[in-house]
Structure 1
């Protein structure tokens, strides 16, 4: 038996290339297609670096159903809690705000907070930690607010 013969007859270069093309197209479609909803991943959906490991790590954030401990949210900054579906910021001491972690431009997860700004590194949209307002595009809409409650030293979703 020859290696050139497949189960239905001789394999041709055209048959092999067509099969390889079909497999390649399936891989591309699988990678590009899918849900528009975030999956809880901390990595951006396109471009940009991963969210830093500390962004979703809060000391006792699950204690008493809390999302994050108040001590884990820096003044003038915040934390991205992608798995909880919220960004918690502290624009000034003792003032906490909650926002969606999904950029309003093309639905990438925001990936870092720096200099009073929530940043989506997919396309460099920037949002205020105070009210979610757009500080720099291409996003045109602010990050939607998320209701949060400060309960002692814990912050939880309302």
Structure 2
């Protein structure tokens, strides 16, 4: 044999290491665009006017929540602001007293979950797109499409996903 004879591998193959590194990077990127542990987030129109917590219906997304389950009380949604229901994938706003609107909480730019509501806009934390609490329209990009409307019903002081 020559001095250049093959030696047995002493560790994982280069291809295995590269695949694992790629998978780890993908997992980190997906985690960065995901949502936190809170079921909901309430924010008013200015600093200090919001409150965290509140009631939320059980379920996954707006489309598969048990029909008629109470999502929130009208008093949970601040006037001029709104509340994000992460588990249900919706944002409920009250742009004017007694008027309630609902939108998907998934940003139309790259699918990140919106993270806050302040001064009449719903804000995506990933790239700072801003959407109107009145109609979900884009107020500031990079998003170019409005947040899709979600269906809710208001009966008395209860807000339910339709």
TM bucket normalised to smaller: 0.7 to 0.9
The answer to whether 1:124 aligns with 2:128 is: yes
Give the C-alpha shift of residue 23 in structure 1. 2.9
Alignment RMSD: 2.9
Cα distance in 2 between the residues matched to 1:122 and 1:109: 8
| Residue of structure 2 equivalent to 1:66 | 70
Q: 1:152 aligns with which of 149, 156, 160?
A: 156
Q: Name stretches of at least 5 consecutive residues in structure 2 with no aligned partner.
A: 1-6, 43-52, 59-67
Give the C-alpha shift of residue 21 in structure 1. 3.5
Matches within 5 A, 1:8-47: 10-12=8-10, 15-16=11-12, 18=14, 19-32=16-29, 45=33
Give the C-alpha shift of residue 32 in structure 1. 4.9
More helix by share: 1
The answer to whether 1:99 aligns with 2:99 is: no
Q: State the aligned residue count.
A: 136
Cα distance in 2 between the residues matched to 1:29 and 1:53: 25
Q: 1:55 aligns with which of 35, 41, 48?
A: 41
SS of the residue aligned with 1:118? strand
The answer to whether 1:86 aligns with 2:72 is: no
SS of the residue aligned with 2:41? helix
| Residue of structure 1 equivalent to 2:145 | 141
TM-score (norm: length of structure 1):
0.72
Cα distance in 1 between the residues matched to 2:138 and 2:26: 32
Q: Is the 8 A contact 2:130 2:141 kept in 1?
A: yes
Cα distance in 2 between the residues matched to 1:55 and 1:142: 20
